[in-house]
Amino acid sequence: MFEGLRFNHWKTSVDDSGIVTLMLDRADSSVNPISREVLDELAQIVERLAIEKPAGVIVHSGKASGFAVGADIKEFVRYAEQDTVLENIRHGQQVFESLARLPCPTVAAVHGACLGGGTELILACRQRIAADDERTRIGLPEVMLGIHPGWGGTARLPRLIGATEALPIMLTGRPLSAKRALALGVVDRVAPPAELLAEARALLRRPHARPFAQRAKAWATNCWPARQILAPMVVKQTAAKVRKEHYPAPFALIDVWQRGGASIQQRLKLEARSVAKLAQTPTAHNLIRVFLLQERLKGAGGGVDPGIRRVHVVGAGVMGGDIAAWAAYKGYEVTLQDREMKFVQPALDRARGFFEKKLKSPDRVEAAMGRLRADVEGAGVAGADLAIEAIYENAQAKRELYARIEPQFKAQEILATNTSSIPLDELRQGLIAPQRFLGLHFFNPVAQMPLVEVVRHDQLDPAMEKRALAFCKALGKVPVAVKGTPGFLVNRILMPYLLEALRLYSEGVPGPVLDREARRFGMPMGPIELADTVGLDVCASVGKELAPFLGLELPPGIEDKLETGKRGKKDGQGLYVWQDGKPVKPEVDPDYAPPPDVQDRMILPMINEAVACLADGVVDDADLLDAGVIFGTGFAPFRGGPIQYVRSEGVSTVRGRLEQLAQRHGERFLPKRGWDTPALATATTGNPSPVQP
């Protein structure tokens, strides 16, 4: 059937019954990104299938990792630079529409990750079957890149399962499990992984009849009156979560759906034009850059066996206990030590609750709990491959602990500290093997925060750093290697922001106003709510450690709160009163007008410190700095990070605003060293150039 055709990325076969199997197996890749070459080959295959009219077609993946991870992002960046996004989007649409119009039954057999363009490919098939296991994930996450589905996702998914179900899938980007996809009608059947292809053939022979209720819902929610009624409601719901000027893609997606009529061609045309327009926005450029930076961080430590099977954690407080629980969840044998069992038990109870939420099955929960053991005596130290110290922030106490446990270490055992601010050159004093000592700074809450700072010092063995990076990758975290100066990267940059916000609060600016202004800039949480969430005691402790180094002072008022036991969320009261885990923010006088420079006073100290960190070599380059700050603080992703923000606003402009603040409010705002570094003006070589709006 395919005589004379040779393919690099597709493998084809025909069985005795005339069923054609197409296996996507992207050359020189462990996953299946859908590139122009992949699409061109598929176009040739579909053209031949349209002529030959086989008994049926099965599309599946040859990769163990999954079906397809979506469009080739680096290729998409090149299209944006060349202003050929529209042409290439239309090409992909045409290939998938040709697949959809084949005069024979087609079934997509899905396992593992099926995202973005991969999901749009399976939507172009008549039927879909998914492997019924926890690795299967089907989704359309394009909004996270500042665009929306462009190869037919917006045109097909609402018509398949109804707009009320389809829009949230596309607007949030969250993937579906196999069972959820089946319940919604995204897939027609699920099957055990080992039987996926056999069941796909059965589905070809006996196509699934969609229930009348599903078909009725799909029609009713997509007719013209329904679109005009539903669209404004969805816009309002979306606007409550994100600002249109920051994240235009969700609003563009709703508009495309609202204007899309009965004709698939008209819907595809609207979709393609919208994606091409979004691709030229600074938001899309920055979010795509953030995605590529995340991939770079994930690649750190790749190809290295960390040689870590057993982990010993000393300190069963919130951080130590949650680090231990996460390591056990990820399959490591973990021992957790503290002075008495009464300190360890709460951590074990929290771990059980976490495992029950994540693992569901009682057998798997018990298996995870079996990997996490209390160890008051510290017997696990001697057999561990990695010991993590997570006690309170006191350099002397930490060194005394190291002196007790390090003599028990086996060869090549790594000692790591979870300190958030103490320089490692200070902590390594007196160690037997300082070359095997480093920082692994996790962020709270451990289960949610993706970043881990791998902290260096002047005697660290580079091989140990690589093992630590590989360990973080195995934990499912994104690691960034940082210099062991006070505060490292994230806390050093975050603290000036928090301290200035607390100073503004002490000057009488209401907390809700400060939080609102920070969110307007794009921060995920306002600084007053953040201070209460982290804990005023933690803010004060880290602030005292860093303030002299940063040339700052702890604002008045915090010590008074701490003396009365009001540390924030954990006590039910801090700067706000907390109820059911949420802050009760006081009403602000509607006539109150905040100082016009309040946003700059909070944000620019963070930018200023980021520039100083770059000059001090806290990280290896500007891109790693931006990635670390975004994944460690939630710094407005659509702005691309603090260094990218300087580039987009202009170095002289931002520096001038700092100088104006210094004249009005004091020397703490004076531009720090590093504002003349060339990295501020241009992106690092090897990363995508800015897309012009």
What are the pLDDT digits (tens) for 505-514? 999 999 999 9
Catalytic residues: 441
Q: Residue 690: pLDDT above 50? A: no
Give pLDDT, residue 686.
38
> Which three-class secondary structure state does DSSP give residue 247?
coil
Q: Residue 402, class by beta-carbon neighbours within 10 Å (0-12 exposed, 13-18 middle, 19+ buried)?
A: buried
Characterise 482 by phi-psi region: left (phi > 0), alpha (psi -120 to 50), beta (else): beta
Q: Which of 105-109, 428-432, 675-679 has the least mean pLDDT?
A: 675-679
Q: Largest alpha-carbon pair distance within the chain? A: 83
- Select the CATH number that applies to the domain covering 302-486 from these four: 3.40.50.720, 1.10.10.10, 3.30.2350.10, 3.40.225.10: 3.40.50.720
pLDDT tens digits for range 618-648: 999 999 999 999 999 889 999 999 999 999 9
d(CA 77, CA 334): 43
Q: Which residue has the higher pLDDT, 570 or 414?
A: 414
In order of 218, 222, 355, the CA distances from 363 in angstroms are: 39, 44, 11
Distance CA 236, CA 230 (A): 10
Average pLDDT score over residue span 666-687? 80
Bridging pattern class, strands 106-110 and 127-131 = parallel
Strand partners, 70: 33
Alpha carbon distance, N-terminus to C-terminus of the chain: 47
Domain 10-280 superfamily per CATH: 2-enoyl-CoA Hydratase; Chain A, domain 1 (3.90.226.10)
User: What ranges in 551-596 are assigned the alpha helix state H?
Assistant: 558-563
Asked if 212 and 602 touch (Cβ cutoff 8 Å), the reply is no
Task: Give CA–CA dist 31/299, Å, rounded.
Answer: 14
Q: Are 129 and 266 in contact (CB under 8 A)?
A: no
pLDDT at 692 over 60: no
Mean pLDDT computed over 389-407: 95
Tell me the C-alpha distance between 122 and 108, whole Å: 5
pLDDT (mean) for 430-445: 95
pLDDT in tens, 20-63: 999 999 998 999 999 999 999 999 999 999 999 999 999 999 99
Q: Which residues pair with 10 in a beta bridge?
A: 24
Does residue 439 carry a pLDDT above 90? yes
Average pLDDT for 352-373: 95
Helix (H/G/I), strand (E/B), else coil: 245: coil
Q: Assess whether pLDDT exceeds 70 at residue 684.
A: no
Q: Do residues 576 and 528 touch, judged by C-beta distance below 8 A?
A: yes
Token couple for 167: 């829009």
Listed by start position, the domains of the chain span 10-280, 302-486, 491-618+650-680
pLDDT bracket for residue 559 (50, 70, 90)? confident
- The pLDDT score that the predictor gives to residue 564 is 84
Name 665's bridge partners: none
CA distances from 87 to 75, 148, 229 (A): 13, 16, 33
Token reading at 198: 């056999």
69, 79, 297, 465, 690 from 84: Cα distances, Å: 22, 5, 29, 42, 15
Please say if the pLDDT value at position 689 is more than 50. Answer: no
Work out the number of other CB atoms within 10 angstroms of the CB of residue 512: 18
Q: Dig out the tokens for 535 from the structure.
A: 């804990």
Per-residue pLDDT, 539: 87
| Average pLDDT score over the chain | 93
Q: Which residues pair with 58 in a beta bridge?
A: 21, 107
Which one is predicted more confidently, 555 or 263?
263
**Residues contacting 177, CB < 8 A, separation 6+:** 134, 136, 137
Say yes or no: domain 491-618+650-680 is CATH 1.10.10.10. no
Which two structure tokens, joined as six digits, stand for 311? 């982990």
* pLDDT score of 685: 34
Distance CA 418, CA 421 (A): 9
pLDDT value for 180: 97
Angle at 515 between CA 511 and CA 518, to 5 degrees: 140
pLDDT at 688: 39
Q: What are phi and psi of 311, to 5 degrees?
A: -125, 135
The pTM (predicted TM-score) of the whole model is 0.89
How confident is the model at residue 481, as a pLDDT? 95
- Mean pLDDT score, 477-505: 94
Token output for 631: 């994944």
- Write down the pLDDT at residue 75: 94
**237 pLDDT exceeds 90?**
yes
pLDDT, tens digit (0-9, with 9 covering 90-100), for 80-101 = 999 999 999 999 999 999 999 9
Rounded Cα–Cα distance for residues 327 and 307 (Å):
14
Angle between helices 153-161 and 163-172 (to 10 degrees): 140
Q: What digits encode the pLDDT tens for the residues 572-626?
A: 999 999 998 899 999 999 999 999 999 999 999 999 999 999 999 999 999 999 9
Q: How far apart are alpha carbons 404 and 41 in whole angstroms?
A: 63
Residue 683: the pLDDT is 59
Mean pLDDT of 60-89: 95
**Of 54-58, 204-208, 437-441, 464-468, the least confident:** 204-208
Q: Is the pLDDT of residue 687 over 70?
A: no
114-173 pLDDT, tens digit per residue, is 999 999 999 999 999 999 998 999 999 999 999 999 999 999 999 999 999 999 999 999
CA distance 644 to 656: 17
At residue 544, the pLDDT reads 86
Measured CA to CA, the distance from residue 458 to residue 483 in angstroms comes to 9
